Structure 1
Amino acid sequence: MRTDDDSWDITESVGATALGVAAIRAYETSREDALFRDPYAAKLVGAVGSDGWNSLMAGRLGGQSVSDGELRGWSMGSVLIARTLYFDEYFASAARAGIRQIVILAAGLDARAYRLEWPSGTRVFELDQPKVLAFKDRVLAAEELTVDRREVAIDLRQDWPKALLDKGFEPGEPTAWLAEGLLRYLPGHAQNRLLEQVVELSAPGSRMALNLGMGNDLSDDRERRRKVMAEAGIQLDLENLFYSWEDRADPRDWFAMHRWLVSEGDPVAVLEDHGRSVPEAAKAGMGQHILMTATKPRGDETQ
């Protein structure tokens, strides 16, 4: 059960969810028609030495290989692939717009600082629990970086803006923010405070991308997810890690009320637009997930 002052490393509680996301990225990377490549995901998952996560990464459930269609019928797996692609393209767009300051909130096992092409002069700030960042540092210590990556080891329920500023964040520069797989792990009031802090630190031209699962999971999809994880030998009760949907603002409305320009992404459309078919069994569950980007207008932009 979550508490307001809980903490974790990469193998437990919220930290373990980063392993699941990395396992799906590794599985996608292994496909001949992969929509993105994350060569670091398998290394990060493998470093834990868990048969369960290794099985999911390899597409083996219950000791047997399963078809791609079976895994993609689990809507969460398809959402994770869609959101990775969506956010990769978000950062590419921000770089083309001249943004050189990147902040990844609750970075987990995100390896974008290593795997994406960044323009010269880009700074990538990664914020997360100290133990989570220490694990990633240890596993990727020998990997080459071509960007200025700066760790901010802090719980986002603490004074993370001060910690970010202490690491050299420049509030006067446009920033591309990312909150991937984060908001449902915060209570509604903490989500709102986090977004307020982002707005306070954002210069005109800044952008914020995020995802959020709306409401409660559909029962069919929840059971399919439990089945996939059980057959992989993974014990992780996501429902007890999430905070309620009912007491939180819809971030699309929240940013619009703060006069940011909001655009939405549809996970199904993201995959289909890149030539990836989506099983009918997954579409209903995928429709429960928000992908969005909000941009703080410059002086010559209006809503």
Structure 2
Amino acid sequence: MRTDDDSWDITESVGATAIGVAAMRAYETGREDAVFQDPYAGKLVGAVGSDSWTRMLRGQDEDLRETGGAFIRGVMGYFLIARTLYFDRYFADAMEVGVRQFVILASGLDARAYRMQWPSGSVVFELDLPKVLEFKANALADDPIEVDRREVPVDLRQDWPKALRDKGFDPSKPTAWLAEGLLRYLPGEAQDRLLANVAELSAPGSRMALNIGTGERAVSDEFRKRRAEALAQAGLRVDLEQLWYPWEGRTDPRTWFAMHSWLVREGDPVALLEAHGRTVPEAALPDMGNHILMTAIRPRGDDTL
């Protein structure tokens, strides 16, 4: 059960879900028809030192391919692939319009600082709990990185804007913010504070991308069962509903940004996957429909979506 001041490392609670996402990216990267490449994901999963995770990522054994494949074919895997594609494109679009300051909130095992082609002069800030950042730094210590990556060890429920500024963040420059898989792990009031802080730190031309699940009301017991089975087969024995804070009573981020005069555009995960040649099975559609995938831009006069 979550509490408002709890903590974790990469192998437990919320941290364990980051391993699951990295495992999905590693498995997808190894497919012949992969829709993206994350060569660091497998290394991050392997650094956990868990036999079940390591076995899942070895491709020679048919049983192990089935274990990994169950996670991708499971009800959650398709959305995780879609959101990876969406946020990769989001950062690429930001680079194309001249943004050079990037902030990844609750970066977990996100390896974009290592795997994306960053323009000269870019700075990538990664915020997460100290133990999580330490794990990733150790796992990728021998891997080259060509961007100015700055770790900001902080709990996002605390005064993270000060910690970010202390690392050299410049609020006068346009920033591309990312909150991937974060908001449901924050209480509703903490989410609103985070969005308000982002807006306060954002110069005109800044943008924010995020996703959030919108609740369990439309989810059947059979869907929950299939989801639990897919997670268990991937080695993740966690109850997501015990880690999430409720959707009820929380501000819809689309509404929040629109009310603060940001331009808002929603992504369509099903259409995105189909555009990359990946058919979404009917069993995964309910999960797709229970997510918001969006970008918001603070206008500077010539910005459009």
Same fold (TM over 0.5): yes
Q: How much does 1:229 deviate?
A: 2.5
Distance 1:60 1:184 in 2: 36
Q: Check if 1:101 corresponds to 2:97.
A: no
Q: How much does 1:116 deviate?
A: 0.4
Instruction: Letter of the 2:228 partner, please give it.
Output: R
For 2:196, the equivalent position in structure 1 comes to 196
Distance 1:102 1:236 in 2: 31
TM-score of the superposed pair, with normalisation by structure 1? 0.95
Distance 2:303 2:46 in 1: 47
Distance 1:254 1:197 in 2: 13
Q: Check if 1:75 corresponds to 2:68.
A: no
CA change 1:300–1:174 in 2 (3 A) is same
TM-score of the superposed pair, with normalisation by structure 2? 0.94
RMSD: 2.1
Distance 1:35 1:205 in 2: 29
For 2:185, the equivalent position in structure 1 comes to 185
Distance 1:252 1:296 in 2: 13
Q: How much does 1:87 deviate?
A: 0.2
Q: Deviations over 1:65-115 (max 9, x none)?
A: 429875444221011100001000000000000000000000000000000
Q: How much does 1:225 deviate?
A: 1.6
Distance 1:32 1:301 in 2: 38
Distance 2:6 2:70 in 1: 35
For 2:48, the equivalent position in structure 1 comes to 48
For the residue of structure 2 that corresponds to 1:134, the secondary structure is: helix
Q: Check if 1:222 corresponds to 2:224.
A: yes
* Identity across the alignment (%): 68
Q: How much does 1:279 deviate?
A: 1.0
Distance 2:188 2:104 in 1: 20
CA change 1:215–1:145 in 2 (3 A) is same
For 2:169, the equivalent position in structure 1 comes to 169
Contact 1:125 1:151 in 2 (8 A): yes
Distance 1:258 1:221 in 2: 36
11-20 or 49-58, which moves further after superposition? Answer: 49-58
Contact 2:44 2:139 in 1 (8 A): yes
For the residue of structure 2 that corresponds to 1:240, the secondary structure is: helix
76-85 or 283-292, which moves further after superposition? Answer: 283-292
For the residue of structure 2 that corresponds to 1:66, the secondary structure is: helix
Contact 1:104 1:177 in 2 (8 A): yes
Q: Check if 1:289 corresponds to 2:261.
A: no
For the residue of structure 2 that corresponds to 1:246, the secondary structure is: coil
Distance 2:205 2:170 in 1: 14
- Tell me, which stretches of 5 or more residues in structure 2 are unaligned? none
- Tell me, which stretches of 5 or more residues in structure 1 are unaligned? none
Contact 1:72 1:278 in 2 (8 A): no
216-225 or 256-265, which moves further after superposition? Answer: 216-225
Distance 2:77 2:194 in 1: 27
